[in-house]
Structure 1
Amino acid sequence: MANQKEKLFSDFPPISTDEWMAKITADLKGADFEKKLVWRTNEGFKVNPFYRSENTEGMAATASLPGEFPYVRGTKKDNDWYTRQDICVNDFKAANAKALDILNKGITSLGFNIDGDDVSAENIKTLLNGIHPEAVELNFSTCYRKSLELTKILVEYIKGTGADIMQCFGSVNYDPFKPLLKKGRDAEGWVEKAAEIVKAAAPLPRFRVLAVNAHTTSDGGAYIYQELGYALANGNQILSALVETGLDATLVAKKIKFNFGIGGNYFMEIAKFRAARWLWAEIVDAYKPTCNHECPNKAGDGTCRCAAKIYAHAQTSTFNKTVYDAHVNLLRTQTEAMSATIAGINSLTVRPFDETYKTPDDFSERIARNQQLLLKEECHFDKITDPSSGSYYIENLTKSIAEQAWKLFLETDEKGFYEALKANIIQTAVKASADNRFKALATRREILLGTNQFPNFTEKASSKIVEKEACGCGCGKDAPYMPLPTDRLGTAFEEMRLATETHGAPTVFMLTIGNLGMRLARAQFSSNFFACAGYKIIDNLGFETVEAGVKAAREKNADIIVLCSSDDEYATLAPEAYKLIEGKEQFVVAGAPACMEELKAQGIEHFVNVKSNVLETLRMFNAKLGIN
């Protein structure tokens, strides 16, 4: 059979790229190839409509195996990952009981978020009672000022259990730049503090205590190359500063953990994690870290290649999650989890779908756990390492993202990540990207299903929004520097729709008349358009006359009447409707007819079409209708 298959494919003559291009050019019938088929990404590079084997020649991944430097294909030979769930610790006994419960439900990694004032040896003993440190990855996050104390407590506790410390994996989420990134406060003295925590954690060689929280830029609206480029600059700033204090480069590199976000750009995210392994390996390798013991993973000059392995945790993004139609968040987190696990991360947190509007409950946490377990137990994602290797498309995405991220890394590293934060360079760049995405959402160049496109017309969300419990550190509100932005992508649309709920939804009536195909298409478009603000929509099959349509609209107490017809018919139908309405209701024409300027000259103001700014238009109608 194998020989027959080979013969089958050999029967087809090879086709050159020039021949493919000639065929595509002919099919385009004069249209510009670049404008029609080449995708201009937000990441600063172009993506072609097709790739071939010649596009992957000479690439690093094509000549390496998983577990081999520079680790494009993975830092390990298998694709297993820690399935992590985070627990907000307000009651230590309750948190311990919850941890023991979920360990029996498939979780292999625990994340504990602890308030700084609650950090004590007794509380940690209570929290970890019955949890064997060799059997589960243990991760801790607390206040910046208490991370060192927590690290010392953990070292003593784990040593006291008699566990084999070489089998104990985990982390303390000590982010030297957290005050600047999250609160806008200076992180002065961070080098000394970071050095102390590395020394304190040295007895636990498998615990990583220096965090590069790249997910904060992802959740702030950064593009993928920005998240990666700034993460590399962050990690290198920590590594170089601590090496300068006299710490061993190998020790420091093995104490750094990268916490990435995962956005909704499926293939780009796969490429991002592959590029991250590659670039971080090159950065660490430049320090020539040395092995202090016999290790088979050495370069010819004795450089420790294990130190160059990135440790990457991934968590699903908050930026693209929504309050309305929140079950769509399940689809978003699932594809994000697939991106990360296909790419070969070390551990993963799938955030519950309902955390945008309340504290997650048992049901949503269970679903989030099972999303990962399904990828392992039913989809077998943990059985194949780097399945995307050799894909002409993903290999080229990996290379392109690596190039853009490396360029940004060099620019940021030249100034210094810390100095760039104090100069608000990074925060300003992330905010600019977020603002661009907000604008793209408002004009529907970026789609958020259920928010700016195809909303659930009848959904009410105000009753389900519950103030969430505080979790972790909440100290320090002063902000002499600019913190990273925190608004979600759909926040502005949600605030507008919640205002509509509070006020009471106005009624939008579709006055459909004339050409059947055009009136139905434009009624559907306009219904979706106005439903994004939570308006009550009344659609219709069609009216014989404009007068009959206006009469029917008034019988339904319409606040807005939308004329839906064809461009040719608007020249006569729109002025007729406008005169009958007499300004008693808001009048809108669906589309952008050629006679638009003539209609505007007659006093018709409002048109909705694919070029409309959905958010600004709906805000304008809210203002006219007295909705604040």
Structure 2
Amino acid sequence: MAFQMKDIQFPAVSYDEWKEQAVKALKGQPFQTLFTKTMENVILEPLYTKDMLLNKLDGQLDKQIATIRSSKAAEGIKVAQQIYGDTPAQFFTNLQASMDKGNQIITIDSRVPFKWDDENLTILAKYLTAYPFKLFTESSNDPVLKVFDHISDQEITGYIVSKEPIILDAFNHVRTLSANTVPYHYEDADAIQELALSLALASKHAEHEENFETFINKFFVHFAIDTQFFSEIAKLRAFKVLWKAFTSAYGIDAPVAIPVIAETSLRSYSKLDVYVNLLRAGNETFAALIGGADAITVHPHDCLSKPTDQSIRIARNVSLVLKEESFVEKVLDPAGGSYFIETLTAEYVEKAWNLFLLIEEAGGIDAYTASGQLKTALQEVNERRLHDVKTRKQSMIGTNIYANPVDELPLETNDLFSQIKRLAVPFEDLRISYKKANPKVEILTFGTLKDFKARADFVSGFFAVAGIVPSQSGEMHSIEELKEWVTKTDAEYVVIAAKEEDAKSIVPALLEVKPDSLLMDVAGQYKSEQDEWLAKGLNGFIYNGQDIIEKLTSLIESLKGVQQ
């Protein structure tokens, strides 16, 4: 009889049986090391089971899934690429090309390099009449809003993202009230804070409308999607559950879907190794697609400096390729039923709703902001997020780890995004400082290659973040040889890389002959010896988990003193 894989039956394994095997595999490490605490203070478990999910939702799983699946405002996800251009002619040429090549929603930031005069507004009006649109405006007095004076078709559809509500009574299909959480996102709000703030903004807008139905018809939510893939999927799904709870408070029993508009986050974008931004964008876009966003704007990988025709095309194709080749948008709720995602969604719903109630009890979003509570909460998250990046607990490939030391920072800066609080900025500033100083850095290695390679490689990677390629002394096998090298080197800064037991004898000996002008560190922590070595002239230590920005900033200041 031919072998049939489908006929194979695997025995059911309980959580306790799995845990027993996991503990054995850990070889003495605590089982708790498999648990991860997120930025939202949610504990991620190493394994999720059906029983755990059912216990968490206490019989509400079907209701959660049904709410999410009935809350999709549109079929699939629309491509909403931003249009760029330095001149009106270039801008409108790019706009037409974008729509011809797959863009579905015209996306425009009104802060263009040219004026929105009547001629340009007349041309723009023709496009806004023909296609859906998303406009970013500064205020109700933004010049681009005069485009509606040139439009007679009241059935046009679009979204206006503004810092204040825009009144367009004649255009019932243009949504002008948004819970725009993107500014909070760039102040480092976590997913739960973004969700709570979206409801708080909705509450504020609803209070100022004559009735709730009018509010719903004008309202949409706007999220930035970050690189935390599963978290962002859960965030979008959780919003739909929260929205159902929010509308229920106004007497709406049936689910009322509102558009969920998304854009890729620039919080993790870097000017260093910019093609990694393309990977980040792909990750974020796929999360938006799975999470159920109705439209997505993918920022070009070089948008922080100056996007090119190629990068704009690639960004547009990120959405198109995912839509066409993954077939995910053909599924109403791709993540539905996942033990992990459903549990995370429920966690976000619970925590975000509690935070929303706290904001409402404080008097609403405006009072909560004025009291300083919001600023304090966001600052706490910002400090934790920066700490994780600076200590490399959170990896930013090409920026804080696996950096390309010969990568050049672009000279241009895109004013549209220059004020965004990005995690990579301290590392970019570090590159600039080290490029100006251009210190001569060497790694002093002791023993055979296998003895020092791991530490030498770590040090090289450490300095690659600053754009420095240290040279290495090569194998050395005696303290006398090391002493001679130290007294003759023209390096301004040296890091000793050796086995721990070797370093304990090497370092004191080298400190005796080290020139005063030479800064010397050792790779490793050496807690027992550090006070003694520092007292004898050692500059410091380089080790895993260190605040890389603090260390390299302190070092460059010391090196500047040596160079002077």
- Taking structure 1 as the reference length, the TM-score comes to 0.81
Say if 1:510 and 1:539, in contact at 8 Å, map to a contact too.
yes
Alignment-derived partner of residue 565 in structure 1: 498
Alignment of 1:343 onto 2:291: yes
Shift of 1:205: 3.2
Structural mapping, 1:517-532, within 5 Å: 517-532=450-465
Partners of 2:41 and 2:549 lie apart in 1 by 26
Partners of 1:93 and 1:420 lie apart in 2 by 45
Partners of 2:227 and 2:60 lie apart in 1 by 24
Shift of 1:346: 0.6
Taking a change above 3 Å as real, the CA distance of residues 559 and 322 of structure 1, as seen in their structure-2 partners, is same
Alignment of 1:382 onto 2:329: yes
Say if 1:43 and 1:404, in contact at 8 Å, map to a contact too.
no
Tell me whether 377-386 or 85-94 shows the greater mean CA deviation.
85-94
Say if 1:74 and 1:344, in contact at 8 Å, map to a contact too.
no
Shift of 1:528: 1.2
Alignment-derived partner of residue 407 in structure 1: 354
Alignment-derived partner of residue 179 in structure 2: 212
Shift of 1:276: 0.9
1:455-510 Cα shifts (integer Å, max 9, x gaps): 1122222xx22143569xx9xxxxxxxxxx8421111121121122123x212111
Taking a change above 3 Å as real, the CA distance of residues 419 and 29 of structure 1, as seen in their structure-2 partners, is same
1:410-456 Cα shifts (integer Å, max 9, x gaps): 11122210112222322332222112212222222222222222211
Shift of 1:252: 0.6
Question: Matched residue of 1:369: which SS?
Answer: helix
Alignment-derived partner of residue 307 in structure 2: 360
Alignment of 1:125 onto 2:122: yes
Alignment-derived partner of residue 161 in structure 2: 173
Partners of 2:125 and 2:147 lie apart in 1 by 12
Alignment-derived partner of residue 293 in structure 1: none
Tell me whether 419-428 or 371-380 shows the greater mean CA deviation.
419-428
1:67-87 Cα shifts (integer Å, max 9, x gaps): x5x225751584x21101112
Q: Of the candidates 134, 143, 146, which is equivalent to residue 139 of structure 1?
A: 134
Say if 1:44 and 1:404, in contact at 8 Å, map to a contact too.
no
Shift of 1:319: 1.2
Code of the aligned partner of 1:224: A
Taking a change above 3 Å as real, the CA distance of residues 548 and 274 of structure 1, as seen in their structure-2 partners, is same
Alignment-derived partner of residue 260 in structure 2: 312
Shift of 1:99: 1.1
Partners of 2:99 and 2:60 lie apart in 1 by 36
Q: Of the candidates 10, 18, 24, which is equivalent to residue 16 of structure 2?
A: 18
Taking a change above 3 Å as real, the CA distance of residues 71 and 603 of structure 1, as seen in their structure-2 partners, is same
Shift of 1:531: 2.3
Code of the aligned partner of 2:294: N
1:10-31 Cα shifts (integer Å, max 9, x gaps): xx33322233333334444554
Tell me whether 338-347 or 308-317 shows the greater mean CA deviation.
308-317
1:327-363 Cα shifts (integer Å, max 9, x gaps): 111111110111111111010011111122x221212
Q: Of the candidates 529, 536, 540, which is equivalent to residue 606 of structure 1?
A: 540
Say if 1:139 and 1:172, in contact at 8 Å, map to a contact too.
yes
Say if 1:359 and 1:469, in contact at 8 Å, map to a contact too.
no
1:576-623 Cα shifts (integer Å, max 9, x gaps): 222232323111111123652443454434111114221111111111
Code of the aligned partner of 1:234: L
Partners of 1:218 and 1:555 lie apart in 2 by 52
Q: Number of residues paired by the alignment?
A: 556
Structural mapping, 1:399-548, within 5 Å: 399-415=346-362, 416-461=364-409, 464-468=410-414, 486-503=420-437, 505-514=438-447, 516-548=449-481
Code of the aligned partner of 2:104: T
Say if 1:72 and 1:275, in contact at 8 Å, map to a contact too.
no
1:280-330 Cα shifts (integer Å, max 9, x gaps): 1220232125xxxxxxxxx5xxx5x3xx31311111111111111111111
Taking a change above 3 Å as real, the CA distance of residues 26 and 563 of structure 1, as seen in their structure-2 partners, is closer
Question: Matched residue of 2:101: which SS?
Answer: coil
Question: Matched residue of 1:329: which SS?
Answer: helix
Question: Matched residue of 1:588: which SS?
Answer: strand
Alignment-derived partner of residue 32 in structure 1: 30
Alignment of 1:86 onto 2:82: yes
Partners of 2:408 and 2:111 lie apart in 1 by 34
Tell me whether 363-372 or 600-609 shows the greater mean CA deviation.
600-609
Alignment of 1:55 onto 2:2: no
Partners of 2:28 and 2:189 lie apart in 1 by 37
Question: Matched residue of 1:563: which SS?
Answer: strand
1:560-584 Cα shifts (integer Å, max 9, x gaps): 1111111111121112222232323
Alignment-derived partner of residue 276 in structure 1: 239
Taking a change above 3 Å as real, the CA distance of residues 31 and 493 of structure 1, as seen in their structure-2 partners, is same
Q: Of the candidates 212, 218, 221, which is equivalent to residue 249 of structure 1?
A: 212
- Taking structure 2 as the reference length, the TM-score comes to 0.90
Taking a change above 3 Å as real, the CA distance of residues 593 and 248 of structure 1, as seen in their structure-2 partners, is same
Gaps of 5+ in 1: 177-193, 290-298, 475-484
Alignment-derived partner of residue 265 in structure 1: 228
Tell me whether 369-378 or 548-557 shows the greater mean CA deviation.
548-557
Shift of 1:56: 2.5
> What is the percent sequence identity of the aligned residues?
26
Partners of 1:73 and 1:392 lie apart in 2 by 20
Shift of 1:95: 2.6
Say if 1:64 and 1:73, in contact at 8 Å, map to a contact too.
no
Partners of 1:364 and 1:404 lie apart in 2 by 38
Partners of 2:487 and 2:504 lie apart in 1 by 23
Partners of 2:402 and 2:146 lie apart in 1 by 52
Say if 1:144 and 1:174, in contact at 8 Å, map to a contact too.
yes
Say if 2:71 and 2:240, in contact at 8 Å, map to a contact too.
yes
Say if 2:460 and 2:469, in contact at 8 Å, map to a contact too.
no
Partners of 2:357 and 2:416 lie apart in 1 by 38
Tell me whether 614-623 or 379-388 shows the greater mean CA deviation.
379-388
Say if 1:271 and 1:343, in contact at 8 Å, map to a contact too.
yes
Question: Matched residue of 1:527: which SS?
Answer: helix
Say if 1:62 and 1:389, in contact at 8 Å, map to a contact too.
no
Say if 2:177 and 2:219, in contact at 8 Å, map to a contact too.
yes
Alignment-derived partner of residue 186 in structure 1: none
Taking a change above 3 Å as real, the CA distance of residues 573 and 257 of structure 1, as seen in their structure-2 partners, is same
Code of the aligned partner of 1:47: L
Question: Matched residue of 1:141: which SS?
Answer: strand
Partners of 1:540 and 1:73 lie apart in 2 by 66
Larger RCO: 1 or 2 (CA < 8 Å, sep 6+)? 1
Partners of 2:98 and 2:280 lie apart in 1 by 23
Say if 1:65 and 1:73, in contact at 8 Å, map to a contact too.
no
Question: Matched residue of 1:331: which SS?
Answer: helix
Alignment-derived partner of residue 558 in structure 2: 624
Partners of 1:468 and 1:442 lie apart in 2 by 25
Partners of 1:60 and 1:377 lie apart in 2 by 36
Code of the aligned partner of 1:142: T
Code of the aligned partner of 1:37: L
Partners of 1:14 and 1:119 lie apart in 2 by 66
Code of the aligned partner of 1:466: E
Question: Matched residue of 1:112: which SS?
Answer: strand
Partners of 1:564 and 1:33 lie apart in 2 by 33
Partners of 1:426 and 1:146 lie apart in 2 by 28
Code of the aligned partner of 2:135: F
Gaps of 5+ in 2: none
Partners of 2:58 and 2:397 lie apart in 1 by 37
